[in-house]
Structure 1
Amino acid sequence: MSSTLQDLVNRAVFYSTEVQTHFGALIADAEWEVDFSSDPHLTFTPADGAVLRTRPHLLGSESDREKTWLWGWENVNDFPDAIVGLSHEVRKFGAAEEVSELTTPELSLDEELALRLTLAAKEATHKWAHYPAAAGAGTTVWLLVDAAEIALPAPQVKVSVRALMQGLTQTTVTDHRAAIESYVAKRGIPTAELPEGGLRMLFADGSADLSFDDQRRISNCDLNAPLEGEAAEQFAAAAESTGTPAEAATASRTSGSASAPAAEETAAPAVPTPSAPAPTPTDEPSRTEPQPVEEPAAEAIPVAEPKPDEPAAEAADASHEQKQPENEQPRADESVQPAEAATPAEEEPAEEAKPKKKGLFSKLFGR
């Protein structure tokens, strides 16, 4: 059975959003460096010195100058297989699923393409974190990122509801119901059917009741915490049916997880994207600064509206190797610097209105 690019986006968007939020919290206020040698690594060093070394995979690249996306498997820069090998898996997956966007070497860019290809690649590879980095000359490479520390902790109701709300602002999601069903399956979240086609997501710390319109879009979300009443009984029954005590269910982790810290009511980190330093070893690495995001309300949350004018963030982990002159191409032995983004503006007098700045959460998702 074949898929479309949109099908893959629907399946990946919410899980990717939660992972990107968790990843953003880990690397907030960190200096970082990317190395595309035969031992590739993407390293983040926060102020406290606790280095996070991750394994990057070059997915593809986007060129602002040429307005194109180029898949990493096309490999115009002759990177070693350690860098581009995973992108070949995406191409094979695309061929099997008959998704032409994953098998066409170069594509014309639109505003959301890099993000959507990245989401599709995540669904294909099950690598759920990504990072976009500037490679110079208007090129941004998109990296899928591996690290045990990125594994998610046990699901929590506020964190999951936030992932749903933010995911809908990142890109077009055509079937909210199918997207949620994919998300709860990936996260191991029990559900219960509600009247009139609604769905209840069940957590150790609460529940979320979702309503849908006739186009399968989320029309309302009631977040309830703590877990009690009928929802508590349903959660206990779900734990019993799987042969797992409720206490064990609350401590479960997503597949492949290590000992990840609990994400108690973690607000989505809006960390500004590090500015790209000049290509000299003495330049000071960029930093990120945390920026709070509103907690989801613990009451009915209408969400059937289309994407807001100013999207919160997008989950894109594209990497584009632009066809550019030899002296402008990123080299296998050179570090690739993070994509540039503005830092949050401090409060200014009302008469000096300034445009909103994008934080790292936005840039981490590719917007």
Structure 2
Amino acid sequence: MVSKQLRDLAAMSLFTHVHAEAELNDSTLDSQWQVDLPQASITFNGHEGTRTYPVQLLGSIAHAAGTWMWGWQEANESRFPAKALSVARRVREAGLQRGIPELTEPVVVLSDTPSLILRLAAETIGDLLHTITVDAGRGLSLVLAIDAGPLRPLDSQSLLSATMHGADLGITDDHRSALETYAKRLGLDCSTTAAEGSRLRLGCEIGAIEFETDESGRLTKLQEASLSYRHAG
């Protein structure tokens, strides 16, 4: 059972995560990668050349055991530099401060708490944009934070697709709050277009959506918005 505190943390990064994941997938398509955790870096080799980014270890997933192990665990202290574990340590500190055991226990059972919830919570606490899961072999995956720079704005169709995908992940029913957090984080406009405040427009000069929600914040209507719209306020 996922606690409300943990789910709320995860929801704050929901749409940023979907946006960043699509962007990273596009930019690394057909690329080979190499992770060097002792140097806290990841390198992608593809058609556009070689790109190296700073990287941090958030956690690892043991698929056979069905468990998540946080990067801050003691065994990693002597294996990797502090700069590769700083966000993971912030996750543990936040968990202690907020009383969230899933963030303070070194191993979490994924049948109780899905890995995406933990990943999203870490993204919120660490103010992260790009994260990635890579195959480390022997049934183990590493969940890494990548410092790949700011997110590029989405066009209307991509923004619509990202919103639909994020809503379908089942992280939260309050899509409105999650979208408002996404807009604030990326500096997008998010304003009401109806007098009663039930319809909102979210986006920028190259892409926008309009959406409506019910009383719980769940999406009920979603469509691309006109780019010629100007908020009266």
Q: CA deviation at 1:92?
A: 1.1
Distance 2:24 2:113 in 1: 21
Instruction: Tell me the residue number matched to 1:34.
Output: 35
Instruction: Tell me the residue number matched to 1:135.
Output: 136
Q: Which has the higher helix share?
A: 2
Regions of 4+ moved over 6 Å: none
- Residues 189, 202 of structure 2: 8 Å contact kept: yes
Task: Return the structure number with greater relative CO, CA threshold 8 A, min gap 6.
Answer: 1
Instruction: Tell me the residue number matched to 1:57.
Output: 56
Q: CA deviation at 1:153?
A: 2.3
Larger mean CA deviation between 182-191 and 106-115 belongs to: 106-115
Instruction: Tell me the residue number matched to 1:169.
Output: 168
1:272-327: per-residue Cα shift (whole Å, max 9, x none)? xxxxxxxxxxxxxxxxxxxxxxxxxxxxxxxxxxxxxxxxxxxxxxxxxxxxxxxx
Q: Secondary structure at the match of 1:118?
A: helix
Q: Where do 5+ consecutive residues of structure 2 fail to align? A: none
Q: CA deviation at 1:147?
A: 2.5
Write the letter of the residue equivalent to 1:42. I
Distance 2:170 2:14 in 1: 8
Instruction: Tell me the residue number matched to 1:117.
Output: 118
The 1:206–1:21 alpha-carbon spacing in structure 2 relative to 1, beyond 3 Å, is closer
The 1:196–1:40 alpha-carbon spacing in structure 2 relative to 1, beyond 3 Å, is closer
Q: How does 1:1-367 map to 2 (within 5 A)?
A: 4-37=5-38, 39-48=39-48, 50-77=49-76, 78-80=78-80, 81-110=82-111, 113-148=114-149, 151-193=150-192, 194=194, 195=196, 197-205=198-206, 207-225=208-226, 227-228=227-228, 231-232=229-230, 234=231
TM value normalised by structure 1 = 0.57
Identity %: 25
Write the letter of the residue equivalent to 1:179. A
Instruction: Tell me the residue number matched to 1:340.
Output: none
- Residues 155, 187 of structure 1: 8 Å contact kept: no
Distance 2:86 2:174 in 1: 32
Q: CA deviation at 1:36?
A: 2.0
The 1:207–1:69 alpha-carbon spacing in structure 2 relative to 1, beyond 3 Å, is closer
The 1:82–1:47 alpha-carbon spacing in structure 2 relative to 1, beyond 3 Å, is same
RMSD of aligned residue pairs (Cα, Å): 2.2
Q: CA deviation at 1:45?
A: 0.5
TM value normalised by structure 2 = 0.88
Q: Secondary structure at the match of 1:163?
A: helix
Q: CA deviation at 1:127?
A: 1.7
1:212-259: per-residue Cα shift (whole Å, max 9, x none)? 12332101112133x22xx23x1xx67xxxxxxxxxxxxxxxxxxxxx
Q: Secondary structure at the match of 2:12?
A: helix
Q: CA deviation at 1:121?
A: 0.4
The 1:30–1:111 alpha-carbon spacing in structure 2 relative to 1, beyond 3 Å, is farther
The 1:129–1:204 alpha-carbon spacing in structure 2 relative to 1, beyond 3 Å, is same
Q: CA deviation at 1:57?
A: 0.5
